Chain A
Amino acid sequence: MVWEWYLPAFMTLAGIGAFLYLFGVWLGHREIFAPPAKFATYLSWMVLALAGVFVLLDLGKPAAAGTGIVHILNVFNRWPSSPISFETSMLLATLGFGLLCTLFYLAGWRRGWPRSVVEILGAIPAMILAFGYAGFLELGAFTTNPLWHTVMLSLLTLSLAIAAAAAVINLPNVGFFADLLPNFASKEAAGLLGLITRSFLVIALILTPLYLLTTGGYASLLLGGSAGVKFWGALVLGIVVPLVIGFSRGIPQEQAKWVALAQIVLVVFGTYLFNLAVLQAGQLLL
């Protein structure tokens, strides 16, 4: 097992980070969504930076991490065939654009074509990163691994990342943070984001059996054993429970904020567990 828990953490954070940026751009187009857009943009580069830390931690040669960064500057040498080159460059680019957009916010520069151009330019690597994250397992390298090389997995991980990113942006709308982050909360957005999370969780739920069917008979590696525990954990904790919460009505006010918080945490954790399970199961085939 060459990849244990660092790499799934990177994958989860890179996916969420990319969609945070994209949500930032997307929501930022309408004034009523300005607070969550700002929140998503601020958070995007932080999450991506953290994702970068996990890549470095995952490197088998901690001492080479320094030169690794130097080498990463050379990613175009192996671009785009090296997933790590590809992903890292996209990650750095998106991170940079996220930071730039944050600076725009801080500077109060809210309008104008230069900002729009920057946002749109940033959306390109972010979009590729998001797809790359989803397709990290599909991209070029691992085509002979039936557990990884399936379009369904890409769509599934993409859905989970969207659901998780939307859930994270909803954080300021949860009771606890309303006072703490008043500038990022938006009732209007809360409904939209909740809808996105629920929708993509439903999509993920539908895609899961389809994914398993396309794994060339190796689904048992995911359904049982050590990876199985994580897989079922992801399915129940990361998808089913948040959906139940999402569709529940009449939760008393006092518990509602706890439940809302739990939903966000579970979606993010579930996404991580899912990545962990798939990565582990796939390595059993090496």
Chain B
Amino acid sequence: MTVKKLTEPDALAKYRDSLVASSDDGKPCVLICGGTGCRAGGGLAVGDAFREVLEQRGLTEKVEVRMTGCHGFCEQGALVVLKPAGLLYVRVTPEDVEEIVATSIEGDGVVERLTYREPATKKRITRESDVPFYANQQRVVLADNGRVDPTNIDDYIAAGGYGSLAKALTQMQPDEIIDAIERSGLRGRGGGGFATGRKWRSARNATGQPKYVLCNGDEGDPGAFMDRSIMEGNPHSVLEGMVIGAYAIGADRGYIYVRMEYPLAIENLRIAIDQATQRGVLGENILGSDFSFNVKISRGAGAFVCGESTALMASIEGLTGEPRAKHIHTSEKGLFGKPTNLNNVETWANVPVIIDKGVEWYTSIGTENSKGTKVFSLVGAINNTGLVEVPMGITLREIIYDIGGGIPKGRPFKAVQTGGPSGGCLPENMLDLPVDFDQLTEVGSMMGSGGMIVMNDHTCMVEIARYFTDFLRRESCGKCTPCREGVLRMYEILDSITAGRGKMEDIDLLEEICGYVRDNSICGLGKTAANPTLSTLRFFRDEYIAHVKDHKCPAGVCQALTTFIIDEKTCKACGACLKACPVEAISGGAKKKPAKIDQDKCTTCGACREACLFDAIMT
């Protein structure tokens, strides 16, 4: 298909008008979530089934089937939304499709059993906008994620896409754009929270050509998938932000660095770059102007440290991803020794919104020093696992209970972890903390890129500290001694405590090493590596002491310090634990005879406790 290149800003507006005019708002449309989570849950097969059934019924022309980006409600995948009614169907399988078409497309009924059922009230909710998970969010960056087909630039343009670029090119001088970004208060969404406008200005003022504009899509925090969903679901929003940024900074080339674990994000970005170039909103003489900007994709190769700016640049240069000390800023000497501006995926996706809706609108959202919204991936012990976008300043409680629907099986909340391996664990008495960059840092955690992991009473905080520290000692690049050796020693101490070999003086030593690693490491990985340990020591110190002094893991996680027993009175002899036990250590559990654990065989893995429906297995 030959695509008509848009050679002037007005042509974009005309083209959009023609797209809007030719589309029929009332035409039924099936929006199927094509994010990685729903694909893993069979989303693609559901899409195929819709196409097939509609064809059989001669409805292909009358109903549009659109594979969109991530809708965010991953827990309930595969997700299907029917427009214009706005019906939401959850956990849809290909076998359900015929009934959906017959009932809700040919007819105007609702397939009750596929609607969302709220866990607390058991009430069925039919419309997407009424589901509390969505109703309590404020979607700015993710607004189009569930609506546009990421592999079709026309969808994005019809929704107003690249309008901000046209506005920037025709109505704004580069300095005005930087000024707007500065006044918007936008801060880096990748973790650091550095003022984006200021960063742009120093890159603009730096001498040297060429200049580079980079996008950090190396989302390495375990438990975080916001950036993946944006790159997969709305890649043009990232590209548009980058082109505007490049114009403001005076850069003509750039890279998007994406971790290789995200194949769909890479594919969709590639398609988006091709389509944007063909349309004339990327590449040479953008929208007929003198401004040119070309962007390439660079794939990561599995190194967490490459999320750090200087390591990322080294990796693009084909070197080992080792950071360097930043005596000279990357805005002056970055990629290939040239002035470089690096922003995170979500930061870039905010840029078109700010240019489009204006600084005033943007600054009306958020807190004094953290403007706009933030996307979080809400995971762990939470009913509504998924992707949520909320205004800065919302409390943890609102996110976890109003949007997340609380903790499954009515278990008690224990902690919430933000900021990935660089962040910290916050206890229940901090649930009313407003979430913004500064508040989280103040209490020893951090915003990070937006992972939010909820933990219940079956989580051992010492083991979690061990887990993150284990991750970090593997991912430490080894260049500087404090991080390479210090994090390893921290891990060894934490490991010995969870294995029941800890001594009280180890805790003091651990704290001492934490301070040393924090103060002396070269890059952010080392500087923040102590956060998981320090925050758990601060808020859950009694758990450390229980491990060392009482030789007990209160959460029943650390295998060396746990014994599981089955309460005979509570056990209903259902046999669920027998099936779950990997070492056949459980007998009974049938014919009203309570189950019993053979302690000699038991490895205290805890599989039985998680499988038990009656809370009969105790430590």
Is A bound to B?
no
